[in-house]
Amino acid sequence: MKVLITGIGNIGKSTLREKIARHFSEKIIQIDMDYYGHGDIPESNNNVVLVEDVHGLERKPEQYDKIIYLMPPPNHISLWVRRAWAWFAGGVVDLSDPKGVNKKYAIVNIPIIIKIILENILFRKKWVISDLEIIKNKFQDKVIIAQNVMEGFEEAIRFIQRR
C-alpha cells in the first residue's frame, strides 16, 4: 500500500510523515521525495510505503492508495521566517535544491532567500486552490484533506489500521 502526504511547502508534511512512521515503526517505509529523486515509488507487500512530496499531485498521484493533503497552518508565514533564518544561519538555502553559497551568514544568500520566501507566501493561496481543484476533479474518493498535522495523523492511523 502507498500513502502520499502532500501540500504546499513548509506546512508540516515531514512532521506528519515522521509521526506516522513512529507510530507504525514496524510496517512503514518512508520516502521523502526532496531527497529520493523522481523515480518510481517501490511497491511493498508487507509494509506501507509513506511518501512525502510537495509536488505529489504533479507526479503520478494515481499510484497511491490514499493521499493526505495537508493544508497550510495559520502560522504559515512565521514558519517561513524561521526557515529563512535557518537557511541564512546554516549557509545552505533550500536543502532539496541547494542554492546560494554554502557559507553561514552569507549576505549574498539574502536575496535568494527573500525571493523563495516571497514566492511561497504570495502564491500559496493560488497553489492550494489549484491543488484542491485537481483533487475535486480526479482524486476526491482517495484524498483526506487535513487542516493540521494532528488531524492528518488521526486520519492516517484510521486508514492504515483498516488495511
pLDDT digits (tens, 9 = 90+) for 1-40: 999 999 999 999 999 999 999 999 889 999 999 887 767 7
Q: Which of 41, 66, 55, 52 is nearest to 140 (CA)?
A: 66
Please report, for residues 89, 90, 100, 110, 155, the alpha-carbon distance to residue 85 in angstroms, rounded to integers and kept in the order given.
6, 8, 14, 10, 32
Tell me the three cell numbers of residue 123. 502564491
DSSP assignment, residue 123?
H
pLDDT digits (tens, 9 = 90+) for 56-110: 999 889 999 999 999 999 999 999 999 999 999 999 998 778 899 999 999 999 9
Distance, CA of 158 to CA of 63 (rounded, Å)? 20
Mean pLDDT, all residues of the chain: 94
Residue 42: per-residue pLDDT: 87
Across 149-159, average pLDDT: 97
Please report the domains of the chain, with CATH numbers, ordered by start residue: 2-162 (3.40.50.300)
